A and B are shown apart, each in its own frame.
Chain A
Amino acid sequence: MFTNDKFYLVFGLALVLGLAVTHFRGWTFTSVDEVKKVPKSVRNNPGAYRSHYRTHVHYFGGK
């Protein structure tokens, strides 16, 4: 009976597999920037690190 709808059979299996892999690999929607070769000196001098987010424009809240 299930072979009458091979598309959904494959689609459903893909969804289940996708969910399992997502959990197993720890995927999330958060996008992060990867920075390589961070100097060890940052540990003792955190101000030396230049973040991608160091400039931030804040829109003031409140009514």
Chain B
Amino acid sequence: MTRDRTSRAETRQLSCTACGAPLEIRAPKVTERVACGYCGSVLDASHPGLEIIQKFEKKVRYRPIIPLGQRGQIRGEKMECIGLQRRRVTVEGVNYEWSEYLLWNPYKGFRFLAECNGHWNYIKRTHVTPTTSLGSDGREEVQFLKKTYKHFQTARATTSFVVGEFNWQVKVGDTATCSDFVHPPYILSREHAQKEMTWSIGEYISPEKIWKAFKLPGNPREGMGVAPTQTWEHEEKYRARTTLWVFVTAALVVTQILFSMFCSNKQVHTERFTVSATDTEKSRVTKMFEVKGRTSNLEVDLDADVNNNWTFISMALINDKTDTALDFAREISYYHGSDSDGSWTEGGRSDYVMLPSVPPGTYYLRMEPQAGRFPVTWDLEIRRDVPLWRFLFMALFLACVPPLWLMYRRRSFEYQRWLESDHPMDPIIKFEGDE
């Protein structure tokens, strides 16, 4: 028997036909089914006697996160939670479950809040049928409101638990083929149940907003993994960084070009030296030469006539005025021959050294050669303010590191997103034997 007592203008207080528990119907004009939260029975709300549609021997309990009857403001809409449906898909023998909360506003209509592994989507039915097509990657995709939604997953969903009110004839065991298409943070879902097909559009919503909207106690649990519609928290930073990288690269190249154009790269001295075996003093000094302009680098080029020989020249660039010397050295060796593999060479006949920050002044170079055998002849050339390109390449490499790091993290995030889909991405590093 039922008791019909209207406690508020929009609700009806009834008793469950199966167990006698009190039932509150919050949307009496549109509710078709009511699932009793006490015994799990599914009742026909359109029938005056609340005919039992489904009864359970075993009480399957699931405690809703959002209590039925709880009201909240979400996306600017005041909604009341009136029903909860638990659904399940089985993929490769593994069950995946999620919750769908039915929300209702007498003026706005129905909405859904889908919760899976701590991730939430705010969903509403759309009466516009999107157009589907095959993308360039062979995957089904959907064009909707100027966005392209990529196919995420198609599976057969079964209703495993219901409680509260529903505006369709729901019962436990109902099945539907569900296809999801994503364009994060949005999702388009297509549901095929018997002869009916419906489309819904949803948007990812953070758990904190749900808790705040419905004034739920405690804190929401952290979502597991990456949801299909979840946006990467660093997406804005990634876009800024990749744009900045272009500007930084351009600025580095322009800086290098400007300095290369304005560097004097001037030859300040050239001389030839020969040291023979009979020389008692093998050290040599150059003539005095002027180094002009600002403090800059100084390139010392050596070209020696070694042939299956080596020479090691210790050098000192001495400032005639300050009596300060910069000590350095270079070895030049060149060998060649032939064997069963053919002819070979090793080393080279020239080398150079780049002295840093040499102030202007009058200098001479003192050189002391050692060699495998004498005589040794070498040509010396000294250049001033020589543009160096290695620093540009180093700077370009360093400039690439932060964007590449973010790119890697973004790729990892997307990999996690698509891991549970019908189209998982290849891992960044594939090991031998991986499927």
Q: Given known contacts A20-B255, A26-B385, A38-B316, is B356 in contact with A46 (CB within 8 Å)?
A: no
Contacts of A46 in B (CB 8 A): 281, 283-285, 366-368
CB-CB < 8 A to A30: which residues of B?
328, 353-356
Q: Which residues of A contact B237 (CB under 8 A)?
A: 4-5
User: Shortest Cβ distance from B285 into chain A, in angstroms?
Assistant: 5
Q: How far is the CA of A36 from the CA of B323 in the complex (A)?
A: 6
B21 at the A interface (CB under 8 A): no
- Cβ–Cβ < 8 Å partners of A33 in chain B: 326-328
Once the chains bind, are A56 and B236 in contact (CB under 8 Å)? Answer: no
Nearest-CB distance from A9 to chain B (Å)? 6
Which B243-295 residues have a C-beta within 8 angstroms of A? 243-245, 247-248, 251-252, 255-256, 259, 263, 281, 283-285, 294-295
- Closest A residue to B282 by CB, please name it: A47
Cβ-defined partner of A12 (8 Å) among B236, B248, B314: B248
With A47-B283, A63-B339 already in contact, the answer to whether A8 and B318 are too (CB < 8 A) is no
* A27 CB to nearest B CB, Å: 5
Q: A49-B316, A63-B346 are in contact. Are A26 and B252 (CB under 8 A)?
A: no
| Complex: chain A residue closest to B299, CB-CB | A28
Q: Which of B239, B248, B263, B331 has the most CB of A within 10 A?
A: B248
Chain B residues with CB under 8 A of A16:
248, 251-252, 255, 395
A8/B370 contact (C-beta < 8 A), A19-B256, A33-B328, A34-B327 known: no
Bound-state Cα–Cα, A5 to B402, Å: 11
B247 and A12 within 8 A (CB): yes
Contact of A53 among B310, B327, B392 (CB under 8 A): B327
Is B398 located at the chain interface by the 8 A CB criterion? yes
Q: For A40, give the chain B residue with the smallest CB separation.
A: B323
B240 CB contacts on chain A under 8 angstroms: 1-5, 8
A40 to B335, CA, bound (A): 39
Q: Assess whether B407 is interfacial by the CB under 8 Å rule.
A: no
Contact of A54 with B314 in the complex, beta carbons under 8 Å = yes
Tell which of B236, B256, B326 touches A4, judged by Cβ atoms closer than 8 Å: B236
CB-defined contacts of B248 to chain A, threshold 8 Å: 8, 12, 15-16
Which residues in window 325-340 of B have CB below 8 A to A?
325-329, 331, 333, 335, 337, 339
Contact indicator A25/B357 (Cβ below 8 Å): yes
- B296 to chain A minimum Cβ distance, whole angstroms, is 4
Docked complex Cα distance between A61 and B329 (Å): 18
| A2 lies within 8 A of B323 (CB) | no
Q: Is there an interface contact between B314 and A56, defined as CB atoms closer than 8 Å?
A: yes
Residues on the B chain within 8 Å of A12, using CB: 244-245, 247-248, 251, 399
Interface size on B, residues (CB 8 A): 70
In the complex the two chains form, what is the Cα distance from A10 to B401 in whole Å? 14
The docked-state distance in angstroms from the alpha carbon of A1 to that of B246 is 14
Closest-CB distance, A51 to chain B (whole angstroms):
4
Given A33-B327, A49-B366, A53-B328, A28 and B316 contact (CB-CB distance below 8 Å):
no
Q: Decide if B391 is an interface residue (CB 8 Å cutoff).
A: yes
Given A23-B263, A26-B357, do A61 and B251 touch, yes or no (CB 8 Å)? no
List chain B residues, Cβ under 8 A from A3: 240
The 10 closest A-B pairs by CB, nearest first: A12-B248, A26-B296, A53-B314, A46-B283, A53-B329, A26-B297, A4-B240, A5-B240, A62-B335, A33-B327
Report A's interface with B, CB cutoff 8 A. Answer: 1-5, 7-9, 11-12, 15-16, 18-20, 22-30, 32-40, 42-43, 46-47, 49, 51-54, 56, 58, 60-63
Give me 30 A-to-B residue pairs in the complex whose CB atoms sit less than 8 angstroms apart, sorted by A's number. Answer: A8-B403, A11-B402, A12-B244, A12-B245, A16-B255, A16-B395, A19-B395, A22-B388, A23-B387, A23-B388, A23-B391, A26-B295, A26-B298, A26-B358, A28-B356, A33-B327, A34-B325, A35-B316, A35-B325, A35-B327, A46-B284, A49-B283, A51-B315, A52-B329, A58-B370, A58-B372, A61-B346, A62-B335, A62-B346, A63-B346
Other contacts beyond A12-B244, A33-B328, A38-B318: 18, CB < 8 A = A4-B240, A12-B245, A15-B395, A19-B255, A20-B255, A24-B259, A26-B295, A30-B328, A30-B355, A32-B355, A34-B324, A35-B326, A42-B366, A43-B285, A46-B283, A52-B327, A58-B310, A62-B308
